[in-house]
Amino acid sequence: MNHGFINDKGEDKDAYEFGSGQLKGTFLEPQRDWRPYIPLGERQDLNGIEPYACASFNTLSALETLIRRQFGRAENFADRYLAYISGTGPKRGNSPHVVAETLRKLGDVEEGLWPFSGTTYDQYYQLPPASLSTLARRFFSDRYDLKHDYVPSDPMLMWDALQYSPLGASVYAWVRDTDDYYIKPKGVRDNHWVYIIHGVPGDYWLIADSYIDDEGVFIKKVPWDYDFEIVKRYSITEKLTQEQKGILAKLMEQLKYILANWGKPLPTIPFTIPSPPEPQPDTTPKPEPKSPSQILYNTAKASLGKDLTPSDRVPDEVACVSQVQAVYKKAFGHYIEPYTDSTTTLTRVLRSHRDFQEANPTRGCISVFPTGNGTIGHVGIWGDTHVMSNNSAGKDKGKFTANYTHAEWKAAAAKRGLICRYFLPV
């Protein structure tokens, strides 16, 4: 059975090759251990459907792993959307190279905007809304510069390449030997795409899969000398926003001025050093210490009416998490880590975060009803009478406003069939 892997290596004459110098990459993991950064496993065979989308699922999972390691950001891209726009449906499978090139050029949306749904193959590959194409470019292509190259299936060259990124790899799925290693019988061709996350030289490679084994586990072992038909390395960098480009241009102007005046005498400015004033006792009343929830509430209230994400790295229509992250950073000097723009991922992060506890709705808590079942969620900061959150439409679109009463917030969640959760900073 083919699980969706198509080998078209050699068809793209401009494809990069590992060791050619075409792709430098970033040296990130000298221990070649990507396990701490892998996303939660996602099955490609839910609801009794086989979408033949392994190239989309495991390319994205490899890149989500790389992004989390490199930027500390927990992304969750839509496997189903990438499978559709890369043409997986009509072919009942795809080339990992075609999938990566489609992602590089056309982008992808957040999982919650086009999640796994449907109970038939045709439903899974139904036409996505046209608006998602713009969001896909803004959510991925305008933010990230993706490159990838082929790695020879020589174990030591692969071991070298594994320092730069998780490696996409084709395998034959699935035959297990008596030592619990998955092997490739002689004479068979690869029929599946996975990604390599670790290895023990001379013994085995550890791979992450989009199918679970009999114990419900996504991780599998294959022998060190496994005959992979195709192996790929990935590289991803962040693109500059318009604001960052402006700052860089000003810095370049200043540098040109410095170079143009290099060696010229500086003007002499007469000055005297004043005597330091006598120290005076501090009689200023000490303010009462504020709780983290009070600090977050005060910061949110002071941010009302402002566009907290002017770079529009995430579109205004879905910038609710980005806005809350911006408020949190203003309050405490850092984002909620690992950083995410997804309500689904944020909920998972908050539930296990040492700086938050789940509580009843309280002023200064973060309230979220996460995206689920194809319905977009929302997140905001709980106030005395209103919830403060991103405004996704209207004259205040893109601004942080007190746009829901408490009752309206709960009603909005109930109308979408989603559950409200409340997380108090501690």
Of residues 8, 193, 25, 20, the one with CA closest to residue 98: 8
Nearest-angstrom CA–CA distance, 42 and 49: 14
**Structure tokens, 251:** 């810095």
Contacts (Cβ under 8 Å, ≥6 apart) of 89: 51, 83, 121, 124, 125
pTM: 0.64
Query: What domains, with CATH codes, occur in the chain?
Result: 16-238 (3.90.70.10), 292-425 (3.90.1720.10)
Hey, what are 176's tokens? 């297990």
The pLDDT, as a whole number, for residue 270 is: 65
pLDDT of residue 198: 97
Q: What is the pLDDT of residues 116-147, one digit of tens each?
A: 888 899 999 999 999 999 999 999 999 999 99
Is residue 75 within 8 Å of 143, Cβ to Cβ?
no
Mean of pLDDT over the chain: 91
Q: What 3-state class would DSSP assign to 222?
A: strand
Q: Which residues pair with 191 in a beta bridge?
A: none
Q: What is the DSSP letter of 372?
A: B
**Residues 349-364: tens digit of each pLDDT:** 998 898 999 888 889 9
Count CA atoms closer than 13 A to 161's CA, side-chain side: 28
pLDDT at 287: 62
Q: Among all chains, which residue has been given the structure tokens 């995206």?
A: 371
Q: Tell which phi-psi region holds residue 133, choosing left (phi > 0), alpha (psi between -120 and 50) or beta.
A: alpha
Residue type, 262: W
Ranges of the chain with pLDDT below 70: 242, 266-274, 285-289
Report how far residue 225's alpha carbon sits from residue 113's, in angstroms, rounded to the nearest whole number. 40
Q: Report the pLDDT value the prediction gives residue 242, as an integer from 0 to 100.
A: 66
Element (H, E) at 146: strand 144-150
Q: What are phi and psi of 23, to 5 degrees?
A: -130, 115
pLDDT score for 266: 63
